Structure 1
Amino acid sequence: MPAVFFASALAVGLVMSGTGLLFSCLAFVFVVIATLASNIGGGVTRPSGSYVFFFATQAVIIGLCVKVVLWEPVELYLLSPVTTMAMYTGGVLAMLGAVYLSRRFSRDEGFLQDICTTKDLRLGATGCVIFGIVVPTIAEIIMETSTNPVLLALATASNQLNKFLPFGIILGVTYEIKSSGGKRSTNLWVWFAGIAIWVHSFILGFSKEGLFLPPACWLIAAAALRYQFRKTQVIAFALFIFVSLHYFVPYCQYGRNFRGDGDTLSEQIKISTGLLSNLEDVREKDRENNEAIDRQTNIFVFFSKPMGLFDRLQMIGIDDKLVTVTDDKGPYGLSPIVFYLASLIPKFIWKNKPFIIMGNTFSHEIGYASDDLTTGISFSPVVEGYHEAKWFGVFVVCPLVWFAAFMILDSLCGDVRKSPWGLLAIAQIAHIAPEGLLQALFYTMTYGALIVFVAAMAAAYLLPMLAHFVSPPKKVFRPVEVKAPGARPAFINGRPAPTQL
């Protein structure tokens, strides 16, 4: 019922701000069906329910709410608004069917659900952090200095499977909450892993995903365990979001213009420190770049003014352009699905496997940078189904892919309230669900599932041994028996002494 009330308030707000009645009614139905589908999938406690939640909120609902706050009609910059909203509503209805069927066929208890106890999580988190820092460093040195094909293949594989730093955050938060009875949520290793991700991915790599991944892992783990957030934590998190939207997101977007493949570490540090020392100027330059791009292409515009990260927390503006192209020129065809299946073949078997970014291909169709062959533009998975086969793609192709992904991930991970392993899959889903096309799902249900399996097994059985080398030894207290000379002890080692000695 709270979702129904929210959907009603959103629909009324859309109508009052000038949005058409049919679009607003479709938005109401979308929210209600998305809530039902997410709840059937287990909400954020299982991968399937999490996928529906993150798709619905980040692709559609947040964008519509911001439109109401700005008090402007949704159709202002859209070419096919009703068709686009109908596509989303049909897509989430198909998602409901996929979730329902996957819950009937997937295991109730995940394969990884009972492989680790709470007391082992501390050592697992410590080992994940150490492994997540040391091994990529060695792999990077090998890739820069070695020509041995075996070593290069191992280094590449380690980079592909390395998700141990975010896993260390998840395990560390889970351990602290469970061991403290909900009084604590972080420890030194959690902060160490988060700072390592920030330095490598955010500060030096200009990655927005690297910026938000550590707090997202903390939030997902805490929310799954029903952690009671303190007021200071809520205020600190809100301050972090404000600073990130105001300064750090423009820093990531503008800093990518200076990133080069051949840059040394010292050059990367020099570039990053120069930009970080003048964040206000970076923010202004990024705003000018975005306005220039919007004036030239007019494909990213959804709000009447730049909204920072909220421009990226909606897919309606970009999906609408692809819907219009599909209606004007006809569907693209199902060849991308064939390519996604073929791309699952490992590169050591298919040495000349082509690397095709469908987000880049689709962006050319809507008129964006036809000479750019490397930049992947984000589209939602539903619009890919519509673009490939129109309503057949929405109601047949997409749910088949969702069904397979939900069944595999739910059967592997189970309920994250009982074991933390599924939280790593949910952290991946939070990123790919709204903007990963169907291509990301093929990767997540295969290589992504393998990453979760390897990380869980390593954290449960191998990495705790590594953590023993850096963990301080536990003190052993032995009871001391004190008695008067010639007196009979009343207790021995804390237990009553026998009547006859």
Structure 2
Amino acid sequence: MRIPFPERIPIQYVVTFAAVLIVVQQLEGTDLLFSVCAFGFIVLSGVGFNIAGGFSRVSGGYIFFYSTLTAIVAWVAKAALGEAADSNLTVPNLTALVYLGTSFSLALSVLVSKKLTAKKPWLGTMLTEENMEASAVGCAVVGFSICLALTVLPHNSGDSLSALSQLNQWSALAIVIGVIYEIKRSGGKRSVNAIVLMGGVTVFIFVGLLPFTKQGLFLPFFCYLVAAVSMGYRFSSRQVLGWALTIFLMMYYLVPYSQLGRAMRPEEGEYSTETLLTNIHDSWSVLSDPVGTRDAYLIEMASARAKGAVGYFDEDEGLFERLQMLKIDDGLIRISSEGVNPYGFLPFLAEFTNLVPHFLWPDKPDVRFGNLYAHELGMLGRNDFTTGISLSPGSQAFHVWGWLGVFLLEPAIFIFVFWFFDSLCGDTRASPWGLLAIAVFAHLAPEGMLNGALGSVFHVGVGLTIGALFCSYIMPLLGVLMIGPQKNQRLQAALARSRQRALVGGSKPQVL
């Protein structure tokens, strides 16, 4: 089967889906205003996705993951469970109105940015088929080397080695380029090779398991999926079942692993051999007993509910609680409506100070707004300055500037972000750069806040630019040294034969 990589979703399908959902919500006792806002949110999100060009543009990927992972998946789950969509929220109608306003701002932003976007992408198609394998090998080796150095070598938070980690997208690029290369080389018969496995294992272990981060655990799968789907790869039934089982087991066991492991992470500061050994010990102690870890996680969740910590669903639904932002956004929107906003526009100003690395500005203030917002909501102890929360862009915009934040600040930032990434990457099917950006936004769009979207221009955009330049000019040289020039020539000949077969078969090979 082929998973669609749509440029647009027929609007009649979107309207029909939203209408059916609204009827179910009304039958389950949801307030009419909330349901009307949900209907508008879904339709406007579909309109914005179509205007962007769907997954063929980074902006379309951002809108898709924002809309589905903040609310739509949760609303469908609520409907299936027979729960009112506005239950367990303190200001449900206001929250729904903020979400509706954000979907309007996203659609407006992509409409404007599309008129401003460069016709020829800045990164273009610098990566050619002939140097793809060598480039992927170079990315995999460099990514592994940087991750290993960050794990083994002593360093301080904010020094030059730590700053290097902010731009380390090499392993993720190795996955994306490796998948595209293997599909092209095999004529669509295979999608995984040693390069993809090396990049995936590197991210999974060094970015996911050891730091206990869900983003690192799932990023390899997102990178693989967007690359394979963009190439129109046909998955076998066995592959679909295998991937579904893998994702289920990760959700079932590794999400609790990540949640419990956060408390074991050392505070940012000096990283030494002792820190590494402690981290490995803690990781293994939790990972070696997956059943016990899940049981401990369920006990912790039950204890939190007993103390009054209610989620969006009536009972803890595990996965679905993590595929929505409604509950946490509702809390911030509530205190915003009460006039609580001590930080104003500071989060956005801080994104510009973050451009200067700590090793160039040793006394740069380390402000974590996810932590500050958690304190505003009364979720943390007075002395907890490390734990943070995730919020969607809309709730932060409303918190910062009320309705002006939703209808002025959000469009201003989103127009800039969409213009930048669509101009930088162009058609995501023509080069790997946009695919990697979409994989990153699968996590960042729903829970990276509005200042995170702004910061992505610098952190993700600069990383992509450096990655594109190195992948096109430096990594192929390194890759040829690793695989040998003779094998590289044979692989280029195989690619040429694959292109010839595609032309004989009457299909036009994709440009890359």
Q: TM-score, normalised by structure 2?
A: 0.87
Asked if 2 retains the 8 angstrom alpha-carbon contact of 1:113 and 1:421, the reply is: no
Q: How much does 1:141 deviate? A: 4.8
Where does the alignment leave 5 or more consecutive residues of structure 2 unmatched? 1-11, 491-512
| Partner residue, 2:173 | 167
| Partner residue, 1:487 | none
Q: How much does 1:330 deviate? A: 4.9
| Partner residue, 1:240 | 246
What count of residue pairs does the alignment treat as equivalent? 471
Q: 1:248-298 CA distances to partner (integer Å, 9 max, x unpaired)? A: 111111122233356544433333333222211110111111232344362
| Partner residue, 1:383 | 395
Q: How much does 1:357 deviate? A: 1.2
Asked if 1 retains the 8 angstrom alpha-carbon contact of 2:14 and 2:43, the reply is: yes
Confirm or deny that 1:82 pairs with 2:82.
no
Q: How much does 1:348 deviate? A: 4.6
Q: How much does 1:81 deviate? A: 0.7
Asked if 1 retains the 8 angstrom alpha-carbon contact of 2:160 and 2:359, the reply is: no
Q: How much does 1:340 deviate? A: 2.9
SS of the aligned residue for 2:242 comes to: helix
Q: How much does 1:435 deviate? A: 0.6
| Partner residue, 2:133 | 122
Confirm or deny that 1:253 pairs with 2:259.
yes
Once residues 473 and 277 of structure 2 are traced to their aligned partners in structure 1, the CA distance between those partners, rounded to angstroms, is 37
SS of the aligned residue for 1:438 comes to: helix
Q: How much does 1:86 deviate? A: 0.9
Work out which of the residue numbers 110, 123, 133 in structure 1 matches 2:121: 110
| Partner residue, 1:100 | 111
Cα distance, 1:69–1:44 mapped onto 2, change above 3 Å? same
Asked if 2 retains the 8 angstrom alpha-carbon contact of 1:217 and 1:427, the reply is: yes
SS of the aligned residue for 2:245 comes to: helix
Once residues 119 and 159 of structure 1 are traced to their aligned partners in structure 2, the CA distance between those partners, rounded to angstroms, is 29
Superposed, 1:36-51 pairs within 5 Å as 36-51=47-62
| Partner residue, 1:448 | 460
| Partner residue, 2:333 | 323
SS of the aligned residue for 1:138 comes to: helix
Q: 1:422-466 CA distances to partner (integer Å, 9 max, x unpaired)? A: 122212211111011112122211132110000111111101111
Confirm or deny that 1:463 pairs with 2:472.
no
Q: Which has the larger radius of gyration?
A: 1
Q: 1:210-239 CA distances to partner (integer Å, 9 max, x unpaired)? A: 110111100111222222222112111110
Work out which of the residue numbers 225, 232, 240 in structure 2 matches 1:226: 232
Amino acid at match of 2:210: L
SS of the aligned residue for 1:305 comes to: coil
Q: How much does 1:345 deviate? A: 3.7
Q: How much does 1:335 deviate? A: 3.3
Confirm or deny that 1:63 pairs with 2:96.
no
Q: How much does 1:139 deviate? A: 4.9
Work out which of the residue numbers 212, 215, 235 in structure 2 matches 1:209: 215
375-384 or 262-271, which deviates more = 262-271
| Partner residue, 1:312 | 322
Asked if 1 retains the 8 angstrom alpha-carbon contact of 2:351 and 2:451, the reply is: yes
396-405 or 67-76, which deviates more = 67-76
Asked if 2 retains the 8 angstrom alpha-carbon contact of 1:297 and 1:368, the reply is: no
Q: 1:113-157 CA distances to partner (integer Å, 9 max, x unpaired)? A: 22111222111111100010113333555544xx9x9xx954233
Asked if 1 retains the 8 angstrom alpha-carbon contact of 2:325 and 2:391, the reply is: yes
Confirm or deny that 1:197 pairs with 2:207.
no
| Partner residue, 1:9 | 20
220-229 or 451-460, which deviates more = 220-229
Confirm or deny that 1:353 pairs with 2:364.
yes
Where does the alignment leave 5 or more consecutive residues of structure 1 unmatched? 478-501
Work out which of the residue numbers 152, 158, 161 in structure 2 matches 1:155: 161
Once residues 7 and 126 of structure 1 are traced to their aligned partners in structure 2, the CA distance between those partners, rounded to angstroms, is 45
SS of the aligned residue for 1:356 comes to: coil
Amino acid at match of 2:292: D
Superposed, 1:397-436 pairs within 5 Å as 397-436=409-448
Asked if 1 retains the 8 angstrom alpha-carbon contact of 2:183 and 2:189, the reply is: yes
Once residues 461 and 284 of structure 1 are traced to their aligned partners in structure 2, the CA distance between those partners, rounded to angstroms, is 50
Once residues 33 and 368 of structure 1 are traced to their aligned partners in structure 2, the CA distance between those partners, rounded to angstroms, is 33
Cα distance, 1:157–1:322 mapped onto 2, change above 3 Å? closer
Asked if 2 retains the 8 angstrom alpha-carbon contact of 1:197 and 1:214, the reply is: yes
Once residues 295 and 361 of structure 1 are traced to their aligned partners in structure 2, the CA distance between those partners, rounded to angstroms, is 25
Once residues 238 and 229 of structure 1 are traced to their aligned partners in structure 2, the CA distance between those partners, rounded to angstroms, is 12
Once residues 366 and 256 of structure 1 are traced to their aligned partners in structure 2, the CA distance between those partners, rounded to angstroms, is 20
SS of the aligned residue for 1:74 comes to: coil
RMSD over aligned Cα atoms: 2.1
Once residues 207 and 233 of structure 1 are traced to their aligned partners in structure 2, the CA distance between those partners, rounded to angstroms, is 26
Once residues 83 and 93 of structure 1 are traced to their aligned partners in structure 2, the CA distance between those partners, rounded to angstroms, is 15
Once residues 443 and 196 of structure 1 are traced to their aligned partners in structure 2, the CA distance between those partners, rounded to angstroms, is 25
Cα distance, 1:285–1:268 mapped onto 2, change above 3 Å? same
Cα distance, 1:181–1:6 mapped onto 2, change above 3 Å? farther
SS of the aligned residue for 2:486 comes to: coil
Amino acid at match of 1:106: T
Asked if 1 retains the 8 angstrom alpha-carbon contact of 2:58 and 2:422, the reply is: yes
